[in-house]
Amino acid sequence: MGKPLNYSYYPGCSLHASASEYDLSTRELFNVLGIGLTEVPDWFCCGATPAHNVDELLSLALCAKNLELADKVEGDMAVACASCFSRLKTAQHVLGVSDVKRTQVEKAIDAPVKLDSNVKHLLEILAKDLGLERLAAAVNKPLSGLKVACYYGCLLTRPSDVPNLDCAEAPTIMEKVIEAVGAETVAWTHRLECCGANFTLSRPGVVIQLTNAVLESAKAAGADCIMVGCPLCHGNLDIRQKEIEGVYNTSYGLPVFYLTQLIGISVGLGADKLGLDAMMVNPMPLLKEKGLL
Amino acid sequence: MSRIGVFICHCGENISRTVDVERVAQEVGRLPGVAFSTDYKYMCSDPGQTLVKKAIQEQKLSHVVVAACSPRMHEKTFRKAVEAAGLNPFLCEMANIREHCSWVHENREEATVKAIDIVGMMVERVKKNRILPTITVPVTKRALVIGGGIAGIQAALDIADCGHEVILVEREPSIGGHMAQLSETFPTLDCSQCIMTPKMVDVANHPKIKLYTYSEIELVEGYIGNFQVTIKKKARSVDEDKCTGCGVCMTKCPQKKIPNKFDQNIGMRTAIYVPFPQAVPNTPVIDRDNCTWFKTGKCGVCQKVCGPGAIDFEQQDTLIVEAVGAIVVSTGFDLYTIAEKPKGSPIKGYGEFGHGKIPDVIDGMTFERLASASGPTGGKILRPSDGKEPKQIVFIQCVGSRAREKGISYCSKVCCMYTAKHTMLYHHKVHDGQAYVFFMDARTPGKSYDEFWRRSIEEEEAVYIRGMVSRLYQKGDKIVVMGSDISVGVQVEIEADMVVLATAIQPQKGADALAQKLGISYDKYHFYSEAHAKLRPVECATAGIYLAGACQGPKDIPETVSQASAAAAKVMALFSRNQMEREPIVARVREAGCVGCFACKKVCAYGAVEEKEIRDRQGNLIKVVAYVNPGVCAGCGTCQATCPSKSVELDGYTDEQIIAMIEAL
C-alpha cells in the first residue's frame, strides 16, 4: 500500500441536485477504496457556462475563491463534474498567464490566487494517484462481458493545454480505468463529440440531434451502456434518450452510468449505495443479464 | 604623440539640425592629441573624402576620427579613403553622432554636448588602435554539395559548369530527392520526371562532378576555403564499377514485398533494388535488413544470376576524406506525419484524424505517387485499402502548418498550390468524381499561380470550403469528414472515399545533427538559419557554407532552383580568387597568460579555437594554449568576454580601447 490518499472534495452544484447519484456513488466508492474526501467548507458555484459568458472576471473570481477555500483542507482538490473541473483549471491557466487579470481577481477575493494547487478529476485520482493496479485489487465483482462506451464529451480533455488530463484528441484514461475493473470497451467514433450541453434548455432541437449521433455511434459499436464523467452529458444522454428514440423512431436502450457507479458495482456496492434508481434508462435488466446485481 | 584628425559631418541636415557641428569641431579640436578638426556638409561625398585625404597628407595625421553616421553605413568608405592617403585603414574610427545622437534627441544644447562626448570617446579609443594587417586565406577551389535533390543538383551543375570540381553527397541510393517523386508540377502541369531526369543524367555524366550516393557526412573540419570533409560511403553490397545496371538481380530476388519508401510505402520493391527505374546511378543496393542472405545466410540468388559478378556481400562501409573550399547544404524537407508523437515533443499529432490510422487518409506526397505514371498504380487514383476509385475526395490544407496549438506556427507555402494541382489531376483522371478542399485561405503569390488556383475552381470544378476539419472517422468503407464552412457559418459533413492531407513541410530528420557537424545554426523547427533574412539569404553565418532549398524554409521548385543558383554564384565568387582577404577583426591569444582552460573553445560558435602546444628548444612540452584560427574567427568577441585570465582579445575591440573610451567620459 502507498501513502494514504486524502482530498478536498468539490462536488459542484449538480452533485447536490440533478446528479445526486454521482455524489452518492463517489462518496461510497472512495470510502471502499480508502480514499479520504473532505468537502470544501462553504464552497459555492464555479460559475459554470453562464458566468464566463457574461463576465469573465466574475467567473475567474468565483473559481479563485473556491480554490482558496479548498486550500484550507488537506490534500489536492478532487472534482467530479467535468464542467467544474474545466472552469477551475481554466481559471488557474488564465490567471497564470495574465498578470493584469490576476491582480484584479486577487483584489476581488482579497487573497492570493492558488495557482499551484492541484485540481484533479476523479479519473485522474483513480488512474494515477491510486493507480490501476490498486484499483484492480479492490475488485470483487469484475464487470466481465460488459461492453462500455466511454464518453469524454468536450471538457474533460480540452482545450489541449489546459486540463492536461490526457491527450486532448485521442485520450485513453477512461478506457484504462474501466478495463482495470474487468469491463470491455468499444472503439467508437463519437466519444469526444459534443452532446449539446446547456443548449438542452434553450435549443433542445440541436441537442436532440447531437445527442442522437452520440447514442447512434455507441449502439453501432456494440456497446451495452455508456460511461460518463459529466452531469450535463449524463442529463442529455440519459434523460433525453427516450425523447430522442421517439423523434428518430428507433430504440437504443443504453443505460448511462457515471464512472463511479460502474466501478462501484465492481467493488461490490449495492444498487442503493450507487443511486441506480435515479437513472432514467433502467440499468437493472442489463446488470441482471450480465450477472452483476 | 598622436596627430589625430577629426572630421564632423552635417549629413545634410540630419546631424546639423540638432547638433551644433561647428561647436563640436571647435571643442574637440582642443583635446590633447587632436591636430586638426573641421566640419563639412557631406563627408561621405567625393569632395568630403578628398578633404580627409588632403588633411592626412598636409597635416601629417596619424589617426582619423570621422563623426558621422553608423559605422555600418560608411566605415568601409572612410577606411578606404584613409588607406588611399597612405594610412593603415584600421587607424580610422567612426563616431556615430547620427543614429546615436541627432536622430534620437530634440534638445540642441544637450545633443551637442552628447556629440562632443561621443567624439571625445572615439578620440581616446583611436589613440590605442594598432596597425592591423589584412588576413589572407588560401582557397581550395572544390565545392561540396550535401543533398542531391533539385537544389543540390542545380547548385552542383552551376558550379561544375564554371569549371570547378564538385563533390555531391546523397544519403539515398539515388539522387533526385522529392522532386523525382512528384507527378506533375504547378503551375504548368509539366511532368516532374521529364524535367528532372535529364538534369540527373547531366550530374552523372559531368566530368567535374564526383557523385557519392548512399553516403553521409561523418565529419567536417577546417574553415572557409579549407574544409576537410569525411564522407561515410555505406556498403551497397554491389560493386559500382562492375554493375551494368541490367536489373536481372531485381527480377530474381525472392523478397518482393518490401514497402518502397520512394512510393510512400504503397508500392513494393525487392530486397536488392533501385528506388525507381530512372535512378541515378542505376546501380542497385541491397537492403540488408530485409535480405534473406543477410538474415539467414541462405539464398544468394542475386549473386548467382549476376553476369558481371558485381554482388559483394562482404562490402564494408568506407570513409573517404575530401578537401573542399566551400559547402552548399541542400538537405531538403520531409513531410509532417499526423501519427501520435512521443512525449516531450512540441508537435502533437492529430488524434482527431485518428493519428493516421485510417488507411484511405493519405498525405500529399502519397497522392503524387498515385497520380504518377510511373507510380505503384500506373497513374490511376485508387484507394490504398481496397483499390477502388474514390468518387468523393476531400483535400484538407494546413494540416500541421499554421497550427500553433499543434506545435508549428509557420506556413508551408507550397500546399495551396499543390492541392489545387491535385484537384486538377483528380478531375482529369476521375471524370465523374468530386473534389472538395477545406482551406483557411489560398496563398498563391507566384507568377501564374493565382490563375492556376482559379482554374481548379472554375474549370476543374473543385469545391473550396473555407474552414477547417474537426474530425475524421471511418464509417463502413467511407470516411466521415466533419468540418465547418465559416463563410456561411454552418457545419459540414462529407462522406468521402479518400482524404488527402496537405501536411506541413519540416526539415529532413537529422537536420540538427548535420548542422552540429557543420557548425551552422538552425531555428526551433530545425530549419537552417541564413546570415541575414533579407540581404544574405543564401549564406550561413559560418563563412564558406551556403544554403539552398527547403532545408532553409519551405519552398517550391522555382524558388529552390533560384536559391541553388544563387548559392552557386556565391561559391563561384569565392573561387574567383586564389587567396581570400578578410577583415582582421579577429581574436588573438596572449600565449604567456593563457592557462589552457579552453573556456573560449567551449563558447566559440564558429569552432575557431584550436589547441596549440608550446615546446621548448629541446622539444619538451611546456603547456597547451588556445590558438584562434584567423580564417575561421568571426570576430564576435565571446571568447574575450569568457576568458578568466584576460588572455584573449579581439583586435580593434581590446579592453584597453574600451576602457580608454569610458575614461574619456
User: What CA–CA distance (Å, rounded) separates B394 from A247?
Assistant: 32
Contact at CB, A167 and B471, closer than 8 angstroms: no
Contact at CB, B351 and A169, closer than 8 angstroms: yes
Contact at CB, A159 and B405, closer than 8 angstroms: yes
**Chain A residues inside the 8 Å CB shell of B356:** none
**A155/A117 same-domain check:** no
Residue B526 lies in a domain: no
* CB neighbour list of residue B500: distance below 8 Å, 6 or more residues apart: B362, B363, B364, B366, B367, B393, B394, B395, B396, B419, B422
User: What CA–CA distance (Å, rounded) separates B614 from B609?
Assistant: 15
B605-633 average pLDDT score: 91
Nearest by CB: B352 against A159, A161, A169: A169
**B387/B496 same-domain check:** yes
Domain that includes residue B175, residue range: 135-234+317-332+531-578
User: What CA–CA distance (Å, rounded) separates A199 from B231?
Assistant: 65
**B214/B346 same-domain check:** no
**Chain B residues inside the 8 Å CB shell of A161:** 405
Q: Using an 8 Å Cβ cutoff, are B492 and B472 in contact?
A: no
**B121/B248 same-domain check:** no
Instruction: Write the burial class of residue A275 (CB in 10 Å: 0-12 exposed, 13-18 middle, 19+ buried).
Output: buried
Phi first, then psi: give them for residue B333, nearest 5 degrees.
Answer: -130, 175
Phi first, then psi: give them for residue A246, nearest 5 degrees.
Answer: -70, -45
Nearest CA in chain A to B343: A167
A166: domain CATH number? Answer: 3.40.50.11810
Across the strands, what pairs with B474? Answer: B479
Residue A257 lies in a domain: yes
Contact at CB, B351 and A168, closer than 8 angstroms: yes
Nearest CA in chain B to A162: B405
- Tell me the pLDDT tens digit for each residue of B402-431: 998 888 999 999 999 999 999 999 999 999
Domain that includes residue A180, residue range: 142-289
Q: What angle do CA B102, B105, B109 make, to 5 degrees?
A: 85
Residue A130 lies in a domain: no
Q: Cell 527480377, residue?
A: B251
Residue A133 lies in a domain: no
Residues present in chain B in total: 665
pLDDT of residue B223: 85
User: What CA–CA distance (Å, rounded) separates B174 from B77?
Assistant: 49
Average pLDDT of the residues of chain B: 95
Contact at CB, A170 and B405, closer than 8 angstroms: no
pLDDT range class, residue A2, cuts 50, 70, 90: low
Contact at CB, A189 and B340, closer than 8 angstroms: no
**Chain B residues inside the 8 Å CB shell of A154:** none
**Chain A residues inside the 8 Å CB shell of B355:** 170
Nearest CA in chain B to A217: B475
**A148/A220 same-domain check:** yes
**Cell numbers representing residue B139 in the block:** 582557397
Nearest CA in chain A to B340: A170
- Tell me the pLDDT tens digit for each residue of B152-188: 999 999 999 999 999 999 999 999 999 999 999 999 9
Q: What is the pTM of this model?
A: 0.81
Residue B350 distance to chain A (closest CA, Å): 7
**A17/A108 same-domain check:** yes
User: What CA–CA distance (Å, rounded) separates B442 from B397?
Assistant: 9
Distance of CA B281 to the CA centre of its chain: 26
Q: What is the 3-state secondary structure (H, E, C) of B481-499?
A: EEEEECCCCEEEEEEECEE
B456: domain CATH number? Answer: 3.50.50.60
A160 shares contact with chain B (CB less than 8 Å): yes
Q: Is B639's pLDDT higher than 60?
A: yes
Contact at CB, A170 and B351, closer than 8 angstroms: yes
**Chain A residues inside the 8 Å CB shell of B473:** 189
**B495/B353 same-domain check:** yes
Interface with A, mutate which of B338, B404, B470, B479 (most A CBs under 10 A): B470
- Tell me the pLDDT tens digit for each residue of B85-113: 999 999 999 999 999 999 999 999 999 99
Interface with A, mutate which of B341, B471, B474 (most A CBs under 10 A): B471
Residue B638 lies in a domain: yes
Contact at CB, B475 and A189, closer than 8 angstroms: yes
- What is the per-residue DSSP string for B534-556? TTBTTB-SSTTEEE-STTSS---
Residue B587 lies in a domain: yes
How many domains, chain A? Answer: 2
Nearest CA in chain B to A159: B405
Residue A282 distance to chain B (closest CA, Å): 29
DSSP state letter for A125: I
**Cell numbers representing residue A185 in the block:** 470497451
- Tell me the pLDDT tens digit for each residue of B105-134: 999 999 999 999 999 999 999 999 999 988
ipTM: 0.83
**A215/A252 same-domain check:** yes
**B416/B454 same-domain check:** yes
Interface with A, mutate which of B347, B352, B493 (most A CBs under 10 A): B352
Residue of A47, A44, A67, A46 whose CA lies nearest to A55: A47
Residue A189 distance to chain B (closest CA, Å): 6
C-alpha distances in angstroms, B662 versus B116, B437, B508?
Answer: 14, 64, 49
Q: Report percent pLDDT > 70 for chain B.
A: 100
Nearest by CB: A189 against B340, B350, B473: B473
Q: Is A1's pLDDT higher than 80?
A: no
pLDDT of residue B345: 78
pLDDT of residue B1: 73
Q: Is B370's pLDDT higher than 90?
A: yes
Q: Using an 8 Å Cβ cutoff, are B410 and B228 in contact?
A: no
**Chain A residues inside the 8 Å CB shell of B340:** 167, 170
Nearest CA in chain B to A171: B351
**A158/A276 same-domain check:** yes
Residue B249 lies in a domain: yes
Interface with B, mutate which of A169, A172, A190, A214 (most B CBs under 10 A): A169
**Cell numbers representing residue B392 in the block:** 468523393
- Tell me the pLDDT tens digit for each residue of A131-141: 999 999 999 99
- Tell me the pLDDT tens digit for each residue of B313-345: 999 999 999 999 999 999 999 999 998 877 777
**A108/A147 same-domain check:** no
**A232/A197 same-domain check:** yes
Cis peptide, bond prior to residue A159, ω within 30 of zero: yes
B272-287 average pLDDT score: 96
Which of A91, A121, A151 terminates a domain? The answer is A121
**Chain B residues inside the 8 Å CB shell of A159:** 405
User: What CA–CA distance (Å, rounded) separates B309 from B307?
Assistant: 5
Residue B519 lies in a domain: no
- Tell me the pLDDT tens digit for each residue of A176-231: 999 999 999 999 999 999 999 999 999 999 999 999 999 999 999 999 999 999 99
Instruction: Write the burial class of residue B184 (CB in 10 Å: 0-12 exposed, 13-18 middle, 19+ buried).
Output: buried
Residue B514 lies in a domain: no
pLDDT of residue A161: 84
Contact at CB, B355 and A170, closer than 8 angstroms: yes
Which A residues, 166 through 195, put their C-beta within 8 Å of a C-beta on chain B? 167-171, 189, 192-193
Helix pair angle (B655-664, B108-127), 10° resolution: 140
**B185/B268 same-domain check:** no
**Chain B residues inside the 8 Å CB shell of A192:** 352, 471
A11-28 average pLDDT score: 96
**B190/B339 same-domain check:** no
Contact at CB, B405 and A161, closer than 8 angstroms: yes
pLDDT range class, residue A3, cuts 50, 70, 90: confident
How many domains, chain B? Answer: 5
Residue A135 lies in a domain: no
Nearest CA in chain B to A191: B352
Phi first, then psi: give them for residue B72, nearest 5 degrees.
Answer: -60, -30
Residue A163 distance to chain B (closest CA, Å): 14
pLDDT range class, residue B147, cuts 50, 70, 90: very high
Compare B404 and B380 and report the one with higher pLDDT. B380
Which of B578, B608, B642 terminates a domain? The answer is B578
